[in-house]
Structure 1
């Protein structure tokens, strides 16, 4: 493993964080070096600390330890990512024989230097008990490979040397801190502590040496593993397994079926919790998925119990992808049912004699490894799915090396259960995850580069959905994407350029969206164009163009979404953006009004046909949505000038005219349309086939 410490970079951190103690700036620097290497830690795993002498508010000297705060990713940590603790009183806790997790948490809160500080790592007391100034901790892949071997301790000592302490797995918190303190008190010359099935701690009196020790020991472990494996292949391919004829199609179909099969609710009355899917298709993962070892990789436990919080202990393995959807759904459902039965059995067994809950609604697999297709990870958020996928990738590669070098022996399930239970208890204490109404759902909006599409996207994002906006106008789409991503983050916003009049193009785009997110739950057919002309003057080619976008475009996206809804089997919502013109058409607007009326009827028929899938189809009839200077309305760019001219109004005057024309005398915004979409998509009422005006009140356009 490459040592990335550079004196000039370290000096740069000291200069950048001149308002902080130099030692804390260096602590942040080497923590980032560790956190940026996924072979050492993944997504907030591991922790680091530094001990300082500071002065308190009355100027007295005070020993303080700064420990990485929970929730901070070391790859991006700043000095403020460390929680200060008064170390002297905490050091006295090593004299105790036992300490409950509740009292440990209480002591850590009592002795924080700031009441507003975040919770320190669960291993904070271990950092306190070690006498060294700098302490580094990682879950390095190579260390986990060695410590998950049948004769792991002997291998660790042979690989790393005798200047280390090796301890069996002990639950993180006071028990582990006490065990490490006892061992290091007896072996003060040790330069590292290895915890079986957990990871490695290194330490020193300066930041560079502590980091150097980490890299040196991990490099020794890597070299030992390489030597033990030698020229042996990591896996052997099965002759009876093959890559699907169309891998991309297999991937999107699997993603849709898997996320549908794993959607769940705590009770029959509760809303369905949908999940995002993250896929990984690296060549080595694809090849290994066709191996004799693949099933064993999935059936054996995690590298360390910390991972089980994100991925559960086992994975699901699919050996084949049937070409027909019925067989694929049956295969996936059987895999999920088998996994859930085993998982509930495991929870019940581990709950015996303990104050634990053996019932969990989310008992589905988190990781699916599909032969010839790739790795798929599920999560309530896109971040959770990505973290699970990253851990899954590392687990597969590490296990294959562990199998090749010896006999993989994971930690007993009781330790995994303890970690899962601890995490559940923490979530309960925190009041659980505060889920927004559309969290876990994927929404697709056509015409997303215009004012209405943009407003709908904003409200869906605010409600927790991941949103894909589409348009045929790439520059306009990019403007909307940039604004939305800047506010809500790239994780939840995506954009795709496609032509709604071209059915194969729509199918391709929806497959692409499914590969990125797992499927589609909310479809908003919104793309539309207009043309102003009397019937006498209307060019038939212009009529065809408007019908192609407004009517055919609605048809193509609904048609392309139906197989996705069917594979998912978890219902969904189609909310078509219609118009007040369906009920109240205007002269010189026949192409727009007639094509929208046709699309409106199409949506009503879709409501009848898709009810059996649990898909609701509703329509929204807006009027006079103007947009703003950043995202304008294409329709009003077209019709606005003529209407201003005929009424002798300027742009603001035209908006005021339409405001005063409504019963409520209010300006109707794109966000109001978005609120209506969120209302329908939230399944608050059992309604389908409805038309909802969002126009400020127009008697002529009342649905009837």
Structure 2
């Protein structure tokens, strides 16, 4: 279960609104079951003196390219609210126009570029806003019956927003939903995540944790009634056998995925990974799609699930299966790109980022060791989401075009 990490004595040392925001953000990012690596965003609205000595209302919001767990004050972007509020009256705005407009609202040109989800925070009439991707909440938002289950958990306290791409339209939909539903305490974003708020940094954080705990408790009760991933299909090889197999297959895997760009590989056989790769339903589940839009950059839309029956004596057979699987994956990825491409789009390497092998575990690929590690960390989150969503109903994901 997610637990509150708030420490009043530590929090009291942070005197300014921005320092409190940094503290809250770091706590949220520390628990990856609350927020993905690099994902989510937080904000706080306050009043400061500008360079002319005038009192101006400013919103500090997580800038692009940072991670909540480790970000500092300089990773936030300060924006003048008097410049942003009029945007709510607009009917539509392209991403390009929005980014250009927000650049002119910044109080300091040295601040990072504002996030695509900045207006989600600005349009909500609350001082402190958190947008996170908790495993339990995404399990709910990625279940085919998620909205119905949400009513059982939260009653009339939530606003449900159907999936659309992050940007101006989504931000306005969320704000309008909250305005139309003044008793709301949270927003559930279909196939995406959670939005919560509070009058203080502590209150906002407490609400985020409280809502996640409610969802976790409900899902835990459902999980006790179902076998995870349809029950066990394969038996894991022993630790010694797994490591021996991996040492024999990794060189050929690295060669197969490095045809377009040299890749680094990591291996993971944690308990949750083994439970998933050995599941009765896991082959089909793994191909439905990403558990969260934020995963796509590092995991792609789907992993490669290798159709192989664990057998310590079948190293060569596994090598063949891997070679064939990687080749087919690349062909299918190229076709996916061609079906959805727009003029000017550039395809990155077609090789899989996540390779799942029954009885053995997960291989992750990346252009660096850290990228491969992030790919693996995010797939742990995907496994948790699929486990939760299938306890509630059927796991659903973004469409192919939405993923692209």
Q: What displacement does 1:242 show? A: 5.4
In the alignment, structure 1 residue 11 sits paired with structure 2 residue 5: no
Which residue number in structure 1 is paired with residue 259 of structure 2? 264
User: Does structure 2 retain, via aligned residues, the 8 Å contact 1:164–1:192?
Assistant: yes
In the alignment, structure 1 residue 375 sits paired with structure 2 residue 365: no
In the alignment, structure 1 residue 36 sits paired with structure 2 residue 25: no
Q: Tell me the SS of whatever aligns to 2:59.
A: strand
Which residue number in structure 1 is paired with residue 208 of structure 2? 214
Structure 1 length as normaliser, TM-score? 0.55
Provide structure 2 residue ranges, at least 5 long, that are not aligned to the other structure.
Answer: none
Aligned match of 2:280 in 263, 274, 292? 292
Q: What displacement does 1:327 show? A: 4.0
User: Does structure 2 retain, via aligned residues, the 8 Å contact 1:350–1:414?
Assistant: yes
Q: Tell me the SS of whatever aligns to 2:32.
A: coil
In the alignment, structure 1 residue 56 sits paired with structure 2 residue 44: no
Which residue number in structure 2 is paired with residue 47 of structure 1? 41
Q: Tell me the SS of whatever aligns to 2:111.
A: coil
Which residue number in structure 2 is paired with residue 237 of structure 1? 232
- Residue by residue over 1:534-587, the C-alpha shift from the partner in whole angstroms, topping out at 9 and shown as x without a partner, is xxxxxxxxxxxxxxxxxxxxxxxxxxxxxxxxxxxxxxxxxxxxxxxxxxxxxx
Q: Tell me the SS of whatever aligns to 1:285.
A: helix
Task: Please give the alpha-carbon distance, in whole angstroms, between the structure 1 residues aligned to 2:90 and 2:355.
Answer: 44
Which residue number in structure 1 is paired with residue 111 of structure 2? 117
Q: Could you say what the CA RMSD is over the residues aligned between the two structures, in angstroms?
A: 1.9
Q: What displacement does 1:126 show? A: 1.2
Task: Please give the alpha-carbon distance, in whole angstroms, between the structure 1 residues aligned to 2:279 and 2:183.
Answer: 45
Task: Please give the alpha-carbon distance, in whole angstroms, between the structure 1 residues aligned to 2:117 and 2:127.
Answer: 16
Which residue number in structure 1 is paired with residue 242 of structure 2? 247
Task: Please give the alpha-carbon distance, in whole angstroms, between the structure 1 residues aligned to 2:212 and 2:4.
Answer: 11
User: Does structure 1 retain, via aligned residues, the 8 Å contact 2:37–2:374?
Assistant: yes
Which residue number in structure 1 is paired with residue 328 of structure 2? 338
Q: What displacement does 1:36 show? A: 0.4
Structure 2 length as normaliser, TM-score? 0.93
Q: What displacement does 1:282 show? A: 1.1
Task: Please give the alpha-carbon distance, in whole angstroms, between the structure 1 residues aligned to 2:76 and 2:86.
Answer: 22
Q: Tell me the SS of whatever aligns to 2:356.
A: strand
Provide structure 1 residue ranges, at least 5 long, that are not aligned to the other structure.
Answer: 15-21, 266-272, 418-704
User: Does structure 2 retain, via aligned residues, the 8 Å contact 1:257–1:328?
Assistant: no
Cα 1:30–1:51 shift into 2, 3 Å = same
Q: What displacement does 1:219 show? A: 0.7
Aligned match of 2:291 in 303, 306, 324? 303
User: Does structure 2 retain, via aligned residues, the 8 Å contact 1:49–1:66?
Assistant: yes
User: Does structure 2 retain, via aligned residues, the 8 Å contact 1:94–1:181?
Assistant: no
User: Does structure 1 retain, via aligned residues, the 8 Å contact 2:144–2:395?
Assistant: yes
Aligned match of 2:146 in 152, 163, 184? 152
Q: What displacement does 1:283 show? A: 2.6
Q: What displacement does 1:325 show? A: 6.1
Task: Please give the alpha-carbon distance, in whole angstroms, between the structure 2 residues aligned to 1:179 and 1:254.
Answer: 49
Task: Please give the alpha-carbon distance, in whole angstroms, between the structure 2 residues aligned to 1:396 and 1:309.
Answer: 17
User: Does structure 2 retain, via aligned residues, the 8 Å contact 1:168–1:195?
Assistant: yes
Task: Please give the alpha-carbon distance, in whole angstroms, between the structure 2 residues aligned to 1:264 and 1:88.
Answer: 52
Which structure has more relative contact order (CA 8 Å, sep 6+)? It is 2
User: Does structure 1 retain, via aligned residues, the 8 Å contact 2:136–2:385?
Assistant: yes
Task: Please give the alpha-carbon distance, in whole angstroms, between the structure 1 residues aligned to 2:318 and 2:396.
Answer: 33
Moved over 3 A (4+): 320-329, 354-357
Aligned match of 1:131 in 122, 125, 132? 125
Q: Tell me the SS of whatever aligns to 1:5.
A: coil
Aligned match of 2:75 in 66, 78, 81? 81
User: Does structure 2 retain, via aligned residues, the 8 Å contact 1:378–1:385?
Assistant: yes
Q: Which has the larger Rg? A: 1
Which residue number in structure 2 is paired with residue 360 of structure 1? 347
Q: What displacement does 1:185 show? A: 2.1
Cα 1:187–1:391 shift into 2, 3 Å = same
In the alignment, structure 1 residue 197 sits paired with structure 2 residue 197: no
Aligned match of 1:93 in 87, 98, 105? 87
Which residue number in structure 2 is paired with residue 399 of structure 1? 386
Q: What displacement does 1:231 show? A: 3.4
Task: Please give the alpha-carbon distance, in whole angstroms, between the structure 2 residues aligned to 1:394 and 1:215.
Answer: 17
Task: Please give the alpha-carbon distance, in whole angstroms, between the structure 1 residues aligned to 2:56 and 2:136.
Answer: 39
